Amino acid sequence: MINPHTAEFAAFWAKNFDTPCPPVPKKLDDLNITAREAMRMENPVLFQNLFRQQDMNQMPADVVGRMQNQTFWASDIPILREFGYEHQARELEKQIEEGRRVIMEQKIEASRQKTAANEKRLKEWQNMSPMQRMLMNPPSPEAVQRCREQWGIDGRADWER
């Protein structure tokens, strides 16, 4: 029976190597390390189709369940690779990287907004008169009490003393 991935393997080989194309590999050891890694990097779908383990019962049950629901965890990547699911592992890594990029962009945007608000407040502060600044920043109750004590203000009228 002809392997359904024969044409894809031949195209991969012609694109990446200048040597005659070998037969379609049946197991990982049929390819040298260079060809294996080139296929893993250049065409993970072909790698997965040729070398993944067909019996999913060997895989941990929780990973199989997440695979069926397409709800992977980051910790599934090494298990997926171990069982030959290179394409799923690569796609999961891409999703994780995209998520990190989106989070970073959100943090950068939040930082920009905070900086803009701070700059606006500073500009407004610089344009205020000294009296407006004083009104915007009233003294604390402790400072008021300390001044009253220093100046001898006790809240009673002079004739009550």
DSSP string, 21-66: P-PPPSSGGGS-HHHHHHHHHH-HHHHHHHHS-S-GGGS-HHHHHH
Q: What is the pLDDT of residue 152?
A: 85
Residue 135 confidence (pLDDT): 84
Give the model's pLDDT for residue 54.
67
Q: In the block, which residue shows the tokens 């029976």? A: 1
Q: Tell which residue, 68, 70, 69, 77, has the closest CA to residue 97.
A: 77
Alpha helices in 127-159 (DSSP H): 130-136, 141-151
Cα four-point dihedral sign 130, 136, 142, 144: positive
Residue 96 has what pLDDT?
94
Q: What is the pLDDT of residue 43?
A: 86
Q: Where are the domains of the chain?
A: 6-89, 94-160
- Compute the distance between CA of residue 70 and CA of residue 19 in angstroms, rounded to an integer: 39
Three-state DSSP at 14 gives helix
The whole-number pLDDT of residue 104 equals 97
Phi and psi at residue 106, in whole multiples of 5°?
-65, -40
* Blockwise average pLDDT, block size 10, the chain, 161 residues: 82 90 86 89 85 77 86 90 86 94 97 96 90 85 90 80 69
Quote the pLDDT of residue 99: 95
- Check residue 157 and give its pLDDT: 77
